[in-house]
Amino acid sequence: MWALCGLATGYCFSSAIAPYKFAMSPLLAIIMFAMGLTLTITDLREALTDVRPLAVGVCLQFILMPLLAWTISQALSLPTELLIGMMLVGTAPGGTASNVLAYLAGGRVALSIGMTTLSTLMAVVVMPFLCSLYLSTVIQVDQAGMLLSILKIVILPVAGGVLLNFLCPRQISRIKPCLPAVAVTGICCAITLVIALNADALATVSAVAIFAVLLHNILGLVSGYFSARLCGMDIPTARTVAIEVGTQNTGLAAALAFKHFSTLAALPGAIFSITQNLLGAWQAGYWSRKPPAETAKP
């Protein structure tokens, strides 16, 4: 609901908010720093030891999601700017909201944190490479520039948060209950900004574009769950993989769109941010009412 409020605010007050385009990268850096503050070195070490679900999640994240984004965009003949936006979302690492959703869904929180962290670290190299690979016939992609941007607005803030948590654990523990609110506020502000910058374009963006984003999101959730089950993983693990694959770092996608492409290319990220929160919250609520034994029944 806060995401929808951000959408409405950005649209209604676009002229007042649009001049703050420069705030997108700092907003994402704040969200990533808050994520880093919740992690310890021990958490990361333990979360990155369950190799099989991590491998499945990473493969789905960086192979299936980009392929789905490209296929859907081509099938629906999306214009170039929206195609770029879809690919930025499809190649993005897992979003921080997945950790909260995994907890609510009865999934494995440590595994979710591990998957998010691993995909975020890998995105430094993989995301620019995949964007260049898919978009080479559409637009010239500045791989080095994207890599540097990801380092600045994702990796360094996360590392700074982990380091500060290591150096001052007692002080950080006092503010940890506030960190989810910080992340939610940052995400909603990012949505507001993207919508404000694309307020005029929204009138011309057809329902097809919204359908493309929604389809991408749903297929990510469904593919994540059933791929994990086909690989023999238990239901809590499958739930975790599904939520991780269906929850993208849309803030990063929007920030890179602003910096390296166009404001319109950031729109799929804003739409995906809303759909993934609504779908993820609904799915987590449904699963939370169904214990694994009940869910496993035909």
- List phi, psi (to 5°) of 184: -60, -45
Q: Measured between alpha carbons, how far is 24 from 186 in angstroms, rounded to an integer?
A: 9
Please give the pLDDT value at position 206: 67
Q: What percent of the chain has pLDDT over 90?
A: 12
Judge whether residue 47 has pLDDT over 70.
no
pLDDT: which is higher, 202 or 234: 234
Task: Output the CA–CA distances (angstroms, integers) from residue 122 to 93, 155, 214, in the order listed.
Answer: 8, 10, 25
pLDDT: which is higher, 287 or 242: 242
pLDDT: which is higher, 25 or 211: 211
Most confident of 69-83, 166-180, 239-253: 69-83
Q: Measured between alpha carbons, how far is 228 from 259 in angstroms, rounded to an integer?
A: 35
Please give the pLDDT value at position 138: 67
Residue 75 pLDDT class (50, 70, 90 cuts): very high
Burial class for 16, CB neighbours closer than 10 Å (0-12, 13-18, 19+): exposed
Q: What is the mean pLDDT of residues 47-63?
A: 82
Strand, helix or coil for residue 103:
helix
| Residues in CB range of 258: below 8 A, 6 or more apart | 21, 24, 25, 197, 266
Judge whether residue 21 has pLDDT over 50.
yes
Q: What percent of the chain has pLDDT over 70?
A: 88
Q: Measured between alpha carbons, how far is 290 from 286 in angstroms, rounded to an integer?
A: 7
Asked whether the CA dihedral 130, 239, 280, 177 is positive or negative, the reply is negative
Could you give all domains of the chain from N- to C-terminal order, each with its CATH number? Answer: 2-12+23-287 (1.20.1530.20)
Residue whose C-alpha is closest to residue 221's, from 127, 169, 286? 286
Most confident of 2-16, 144-158, 225-239: 225-239
Judge whether residue 179 has pLDDT over 80.
no
Q: What is the mean pLDDT of the chain?
A: 80
Helices (H), 76-206: 80-91, 97-104, 109-135, 143-150, 156-167, 169-175, 179-197, 199-202
pLDDT tens-digit map of 128-145? 888 888 887 766 666 677
pLDDT: which is higher, 3 or 292: 3
Q: Measured between alpha carbons, how far is 115 from 94 in angstroms, rounded to an integer?
A: 7
Please give the pLDDT value at position 294: 47
Judge whether residue 52 has pLDDT over 80.
yes
